[in-house]
A and B are shown apart, each in its own frame.
Chain A
Amino acid sequence: DIQMTQSPSSVSASVGDRVTITCRASQDISTWLAWYQQKPGKAPKLLIYAASSLQSGVPSRFSGSGSGTDFTLTISSLQPEDFASYYCQQANSFPFTFGPGTKVDIK
């Protein structure tokens, strides 16, 4: 199985901050990577697919980059509604695995 790791596991930030979350795959997954946002008690929401493609309706302050084994999700200017957990997911091969998540909370 492809193992996904994320760093940091949590980050405290203020509104307006730039936040960067890193995801690493245990083997080359090309650009078969997605990012999801999940708020407490809610279902996950797709933000980014194919490593850097912004899902329809997602604000442009979210961006993704990377290929191979190293990927990044960036929130350019954190908004109050962005405080949530973020998960990366590889879609390269079975089983489709998620990272452990990064919680973004208020400083």
Chain B
Amino acid sequence: EVQLVESGGGLVQPGGSLRLSCAASGFTFSSYWMHWVRQAPGKGLVWVSRINRDGRSTSYADSVKGRFTISRDNAKNTLYLQMNSLRAEDTAVYYCARDLFADDSSGTNWFDPWGQGTLVTVSS
């Protein structure tokens, strides 16, 4: 069964840091582009970041560029999101999501499946 399980969320003060992890199983992790998408409480979905299959190419939403870093460890089948200089507006459920198709040179940028999400709350 294809599965993505996020961890690492929690309560952090403004200006603080947090690292999210996403453990993948049931598929060849290194064959897929991966993404992070977030959803503030009661709000819509916002794409955050993506990383290519070998981790050498990354992209970010402007709202997190320079503060967040996406990475992956293909040996551990794990995706990461390092979040620094956190702000109240970063409060959200963070989902990791797999790109739809494997071995795509540029990624399809459609997301399936998704993890269950991990809640990040930035508050003093």
A residues neighboring B (CB under 8 Å):
32, 34, 36, 38, 42-46, 49-50, 55, 87, 89, 91, 94-101
Q: A97–B117 Cα gap in the complex (Å)?
A: 19
B108 touches A95 (CB 8 A): no
B44–A46 CB distance below 8 A: no
A87 touches B47 (CB 8 A): no
Whether, in the assembled complex, B109 has its beta carbon less than 8 Å from a beta carbon of chain A, the answer is yes
Collect the chain B residues with CB atoms within 8 Å of residue A45's CB. Answer: 112-114
User: How far, in angstroms, from A34 to B47 measured CA to CA in the complex?
Assistant: 13
**Complex: how many Å from CA A90 to CA B113?**
17
Count the A-B residue pairs with Cβ separation under 8 angstroms: how many?
56
Whether a CB of chain A sits under 8 angstroms from the CB of B62 is yes
Q: Which residues of B contact A55 (CB under 8 A)?
A: 100, 112
Name which residue of chain B comes closest to A56, CB basis.
Answer: B112
Task: Annotate B62-79 by CB proximity to A: 1 below 8 A, 0 otherwise.
Answer: 100000000000000000
> A89 to B100, alpha carbons, bound, how many Å?
14
B110 located at the interface, meaning its Cβ lies under 8 Å from any Cβ of chain A in the complex: yes
Whether B114 and A91, one on each chain, are in contact in the complex, defined by CB atoms closer than 8 angstroms, is no
Contact B44 A101 (CB under 8 A): yes
Q: How far, in whole Å, are A32 and B45 apart by their CA atoms in the complex? A: 17
Asked if B116 contacts A43 (CB within 8 A), the reply is yes
Interface check B61, CB cutoff 8 A: yes
User: Taking the nearest CB of chain A, how far is it from the CB of B104, in angstroms?
Assistant: 11
Measured CA separation A87–B117 after assembly (Å):
17
* Interface contact B109-A91, CB-CB below 8 Å: yes
Complex formed: what's the CA distance from A80 to B16 in Å? 43
**Which has the most chain A C-beta neighbours within 10 Å: B59, B95, B100, B110?**
B110
- B contact residues around A43 at 8 Å (CB): 95, 113-117
